[in-house]
Structure 1
Amino acid sequence: MMKEKEPTNNQAHTVRMPIVIAITLVAGMLVGANFFGGQARMNSVAKGYSKYREVLSLIETSYVDSVNTDSLVEFSIKKMLEKLDPHTSYFSTSEVAAARSQLESGFDGIGIEFNVFNDTVYVVNAMLGGPSDAVGIKSGDRLVSADGVSLTGQKVNSALIFSKLRGPRGSEVTLEIVRKGEKGVKVFTVTRDRIPSYSINASFMIDNQTGYIKVDRFTESTYDEFKSALSTLKSQGLKRLMLDLRGNPGGYKDRAEKMVDELLAGEKLIVYTDGKGTKYDSQTFTQNDGIFEKGAVIVLVDENSASAAEIVAGALQDNDRALIVGRRSFGKGLVQMPVTLHDGSELRLTISRYYTPSGRSIQKPYSLGKEEEYEKDYDQRLKGGEFFSSDSIKFNEKLKYKTVAGRIVYGGGGITPDVFVPRDTSYMTKYLTELFSKNIIREYALTYTNENIKSLEKLSFKEFNKQFNVSDEMLSELQKVAQQAKVKATAKDYERSLAYLKGQIKALVARNVWQRKKAKGYNNEYYQILMAYDETFQKALQNFDKAEKLAHGEIVETLTHSGK
């Protein structure tokens, strides 16, 4: 399923250039060699610029064929940056808006979540109180066209859909819709408006003392969302917190720091940066009275937790404030400075490195100009067994550090957890992968929900979770949908994936029922059901005794520390 605000990448196995904005600069600031001073560097840059301008001028005036020099400049900039670190990047004017939108707290659009199934766009949810909900668009409606442009067929993709549904607030888009059970095509004119975008996906009490918050990324609104969620949970009896940062690619550094400040008492170091010279060196300390400075905290991370997420995990680990559970994080510890160039394009230039309070560099090793080698790190971890066995994690004794309380932690890239949880692939089969890739499970769950909505809405979620079971009849219907999409399963694969498949269907049905009733973006019901199949979540629950000891200043045994 997809949201109009952004495409969803299911079960992503890599984090490619997580967007980290550490320093806000005035638009139009010139980038020059005098960033770091030195007449020799100035002379070198001047000579290089002169040569480049000379070659470009010769191409423009004397090359045998007509060429677009603007495209040559774009190409040459990107090729030049390939010789630097893996995270220095350039965005053309057409790419800047999309890159920035990932960190904004909202967008202008029509307010729907959609799913593409069999080359057709289906409305999963018209956001409560949004423009589409206001004109009567409903879950299950099929989008046929937008402003006369067809939204069916093999050419339909997320880029096309976003281009037609998004637009300046106050502008209109005419949609043609087919509704199941009704004849003909319905026409709706929707006036676009500001649609809020949420970075916290779930916030609820697991039991009468344990709260759970899942943060998907660090955007403009993340800190405010986190404070609100944390305050609500505290009013409900929060004494232990599970903070889920799995799959979080990062975002605004200062939002991550403020999140730490809500959990860590006193004046403690959160993170520091070190660059060339001292211009971009910084230290950030806690300074405010936080909402939850006492009580056990567990932070969940995995190989797709990066950048700002790693700042949070590293700060809480090094200050012995939280128990880190999961697998070693991505290792993105380079700080990018965004610079808007004169034509509106943007350079994100690496200017320093992040370090945790103990002195660990978050950044994993890399060689200048060898991005392909850098991107193979994931495959190397996979082949080396690191995702499945803690014994396969290699610790560099030269990069040994100590937390405030004296626990041993290791550098070398990423945040190594205190409690390791192997990746669970027992249920993953080719059959399940194809069901996910073709959106079959989501589409079946949506159809089932719409056909049974009256009876489902009579139940409270608590009653639904206790009483509802995915029947053999439902599974048979799912298989028919899968066969129509040319997805078949062997008996072995079907049995292997069956329990998880049932869980997914039940979770998605719950999401479809209760999401309609909410103006906010929480998917609490979905995650509450999937907890039973989440080994990292279950392992975390079992280790709150260690987190409790940490909260009381005791040293505990962890993956990298014997506790002696």
Structure 2
Amino acid sequence: MKLSNKVIITLLAIGMIALVSFQVKKNDRYFEIIKNLDVFTTLYKELNTYYVDEINPTEIMETGIEAMLESLDPYTNFIPEDRIEDYRIMSTGQYGGIGTTMGEIEGRHVVMMILEGAPAEIAGVKIGDELIEINNNSVKDYSTDEINKLLKGQIGTEVDVKVNRKGVKKPLNFEINRDRINIESVPYYGLISGDIAYIRLTEFSSGAGASVRSALVELKGQGAKKVILDLRGNPGGLLNESIEISNIFIPKGLEVVSTKGKIEEWNKTYTANKNPVDVNIPLAVLISNNSASASEIVAGVMQDYDRGVLVGQKSFGKGLVQATRPLSYNSQLKITTAKYYIPSGRCIQAIDYSHRNKDGSIGKIPDSLKSEFKTRAGRVVFDGGGVSPDHAVVNKGYAPITIQLIKKGFIFDFATEYYYQNVDLKPDPKAFNISDDLYKEFTKWVSGRNYSYTTSTEEMIKELKETANQDKYFDFIEEEIAALENEIENHKKEDLEVFQLEIKRALKEEIISRYHKRQGMIESSFENDEEVEEAIMLLNDKNQYKNLLQVKN
């Protein structure tokens, strides 16, 4: 009995020590917070009082907040009151405005795209128009963001715009009534290559799941027997929409995604809670380096359940969940609260998301840092950043000359001129092609314009020269380098001919957009879209499709 009392006393003593230790740690933490807030406040006061120049309190405070949050991860952000509307647009896919996409080309503010049926189109604004005034105020020195803010506004209000148009000598004035603009999460769907349904999903805004569901139902009614779901370049969006879209292809009751973070009561497992559209239809999901977040959930779920094949490149690697927390003065904090895990148990968050390749990809992660998981059928998959495709397709991208022609606006401007010279033409997006004669016309048109560019090879030669100078070797290789530079320059003169196929492709899509807007651009791209072609090939080859979804012996 005495021994028992000693044990009890000992346990009580240990408990008291632990409680005191916990309280000390807790108090230390609170003291650190209070201390640092006091340091920050006094520093800010001294800076504001004695700094040699006038300080904008809002700007300097936002700079401090953003620098603090940037040290955590790229997705935890401060949203001040004046940017709340932009955040709502991202979440809901809706805003009050006129339905244009604005861009800047060589100092000109140009209408790059117009939503079909939007107020701008109804009023008569066209792609290629150069915006010069909004409500009688010149926009010459405005940024694209500033212009977009001026064009947006309360539904039912009016905005006056003045534009310059190709072939019209005097500026044109338009009075446009703002309306509710719904950003299309599914800008295109249709049957391609016979019985294959193609659905392009560009963002996971509110209603995206319903849009994909209705598109697939409609296409199945038209005879679709296979599906391509295109998530390339889709940055993600709302978590619940990724669950809705996954549910279209997997049975009700299956786990889709789980979230785990510091606040245990916020941890949750989400399951498919609706009847699917089709759990057996062959499916190919297109992904790219910039398919992120909700896109990766959908792609990962399809892979983990062996529900479809992933085609393209390794995805972005964003497995973090954000929530918004209200702050004072109508501002908000978008904060990372958890990581998400797909059905196999893997988290697709890139291990080191702060160091990426120029194209946004996460590059090669050492095998030692990866963990092995298995799909329902037993296929081996890995974590460590992004979802890897079952059928990889190298994204070759455009050559430097094509990029420069696009960047300078020459392809855009030529397409605009072509449209006004052929207004009555109604080209079929699938059948229209850039003829050799039309391409010769383009090369003649662009010949007197400055589209100089530097290739990656030239950048490497520049670095070689600098290194050779440092190493005192330049005198020995100067002639060889000069000869190489001369050879490259001679080849660049032939680039319009060498890369004409891809330049023709860019021209075709731009010209088609003048007649058929965004849907036409997408439809016209299928002919030269390698990932789409590979997906079609896999879906039409039952054996290869089946083999990709089976365990490799």
Q: Calculate the TM-score normalised by the size of structure 1.
A: 0.79
CA distance in 2, matches of 1:267, 1:505: 47
- Match in the other structure for 2:414: 444
CA distance in 1, matches of 2:391, 2:220: 26
- Match in the other structure for 1:285: 271
Q: Against the structure 1 CA distance between its residues 359 and 139, is the aligned structure 2 distance closer, same or farther, given a 3 Å change threshold?
A: closer
- Match in the other structure for 2:124: 136
1:547 Cα deviation from its structure 2 partner:
7.0
Higher Rg of the two aligned structures: 2
- Match in the other structure for 1:51: 35
1:117-136 alignment runs, 5 A limit? 117-123=105-111, 127-136=115-124
Single out whichever of 233-242 and 429-438 deviates more from structure 2.
429-438
- Match in the other structure for 2:50: 65
1:209-220 alignment runs, 5 A limit? 209-220=195-206
CA distance in 1, matches of 2:293, 2:361: 21
1:214-229 alignment runs, 5 A limit? 214-229=200-215
Which one of 373, 380, 405 corresponds to residue 435 of structure 1? 405
Higher relative contact order structure (alpha carbons within 8 Å, sequence separation ≥ 6): 1
CA distance in 1, matches of 2:541, 2:255: 23
- Match in the other structure for 1:188: 174
1:350 Cα deviation from its structure 2 partner:
1.7
Single out whichever of 315-324 and 118-127 deviates more from structure 2.
118-127
Which one of 523, 526, 529 corresponds to residue 531 of structure 1? 526
1:410-559 alignment runs, 5 A limit? 410-425=382-397, 428-454=398-424, 456-457=425-426, 461=428, 465-466=430-431, 468-477=433-442, 479-481=444-446, 483-487=448-452, 490-515=492-517, 523-544=518-539, 556-557=547-548
1:286 Cα deviation from its structure 2 partner:
1.5
Q: Against the structure 1 CA distance between its residues 128 and 360, is the aligned structure 2 distance closer, same or farther, given a 3 Å change threshold?
A: closer
1:364 Cα deviation from its structure 2 partner:
1.0
1:452 Cα deviation from its structure 2 partner:
0.4
CA distance in 2, matches of 1:323, 1:345: 42
- Match in the other structure for 1:330: 316
Q: Against the structure 1 CA distance between its residues 284 and 188, is the aligned structure 2 distance closer, same or farther, given a 3 Å change threshold?
A: same
Alpha-carbon contact 1:246-1:300 (below 8 Å) kept = yes
- Structure 2 unaligned spans of 5+: 1-21, 454-490
CA distance in 1, matches of 2:237, 2:362: 29
Alpha-carbon contact 2:316-2:362 (below 8 Å) kept = no
1:408-467, Cα deviation, whole Å (9 max, x unpaired): 111111101111111214xx332111112122212211221222021x22x5x2xx6436
Q: Against the structure 1 CA distance between its residues 377 and 133, is the aligned structure 2 distance closer, same or farther, given a 3 Å change threshold?
A: closer
Supply the AA of the counterpart residue of 2:38. Answer: E
1:160 Cα deviation from its structure 2 partner:
3.1
Alpha-carbon contact 1:217-1:251 (below 8 Å) kept = yes
Single out whichever of 237-246 and 270-279 deviates more from structure 2.
270-279
Supply the AA of the counterpart residue of 2:356. Answer: D
Q: Against the structure 1 CA distance between its residues 61 and 133, is the aligned structure 2 distance closer, same or farther, given a 3 Å change threshold?
A: closer
1:267 Cα deviation from its structure 2 partner:
2.2
Q: Against the structure 1 CA distance between its residues 492 and 99, is the aligned structure 2 distance closer, same or farther, given a 3 Å change threshold?
A: farther
Q: Against the structure 1 CA distance between its residues 219 and 187, is the aligned structure 2 distance closer, same or farther, given a 3 Å change threshold?
A: same
- Match in the other structure for 1:400: 372
Which one of 222, 234, 237 corresponds to residue 223 of structure 2? 237
Supply the AA of the counterpart residue of 1:466. Answer: A
1:308-357, Cα deviation, whole Å (9 max, x unpaired): 00000111100110111111111100111211212222212222111111
- Match in the other structure for 2:64: 76
1:300-315 alignment runs, 5 A limit? 300-315=286-301
1:79-117, Cα deviation, whole Å (9 max, x unpaired): 332442343222233333323322322221123344543
Matched position secondary structure for 1:177: strand
Q: Calculate the TM-score normalised by the size of structure 2.
A: 0.80
Alpha-carbon contact 2:109-2:144 (below 8 Å) kept = no
- Structure 1 unaligned spans of 5+: 1-37, 367-373, 387-392, 516-522
1:138-217 alignment runs, 5 A limit? 138-152=126-140, 155-217=141-203
CA distance in 2, matches of 1:60, 1:381: 37
1:371-391, Cα deviation, whole Å (9 max, x unpaired): xxx43222599796x6xxxxx
Alpha-carbon contact 2:166-2:416 (below 8 Å) kept = no
Matched position secondary structure for 2:286: strand
Supply the AA of the counterpart residue of 2:395. Answer: R
Q: Against the structure 1 CA distance between its residues 184 and 421, is the aligned structure 2 distance closer, same or farther, given a 3 Å change threshold?
A: closer
Residue 81 of structure 2 corresponds to residue 93 of structure 1 = yes
Q: Against the structure 1 CA distance between its residues 323 and 255, is the aligned structure 2 distance closer, same or farther, given a 3 Å change threshold?
A: same
Matched position secondary structure for 2:292: coil
Alpha-carbon contact 1:400-1:410 (below 8 Å) kept = yes
Matched position secondary structure for 1:102: helix
Single out whichever of 89-98 and 469-478 deviates more from structure 2.
469-478
Supply the AA of the counterpart residue of 1:503. Answer: R
CA distance in 1, matches of 2:286, 2:264: 34
Alpha-carbon contact 1:250-1:305 (below 8 Å) kept = yes
1:493 Cα deviation from its structure 2 partner:
2.0
1:183 Cα deviation from its structure 2 partner:
4.0
CA distance in 2, matches of 1:133, 1:541: 35
Matched position secondary structure for 1:218: coil
CA distance in 1, matches of 2:124, 2:279: 46
1:250-272, Cα deviation, whole Å (9 max, x unpaired): 10010011000011124211111
Instruction: Give percent identity, aligned residues only.
Output: 28
1:179 Cα deviation from its structure 2 partner:
3.8
CA distance in 2, matches of 1:125, 1:505: 15
Matched position secondary structure for 1:103: helix
Paired positions, count = 491
Single out whichever of 244-253 and 228-237 deviates more from structure 2.
228-237
Q: Against the structure 1 CA distance between its residues 207 and 492, is the aligned structure 2 distance closer, same or farther, given a 3 Å change threshold?
A: same
Alpha-carbon contact 2:94-2:183 (below 8 Å) kept = yes
Residue 244 of structure 2 corresponds to residue 258 of structure 1 = yes
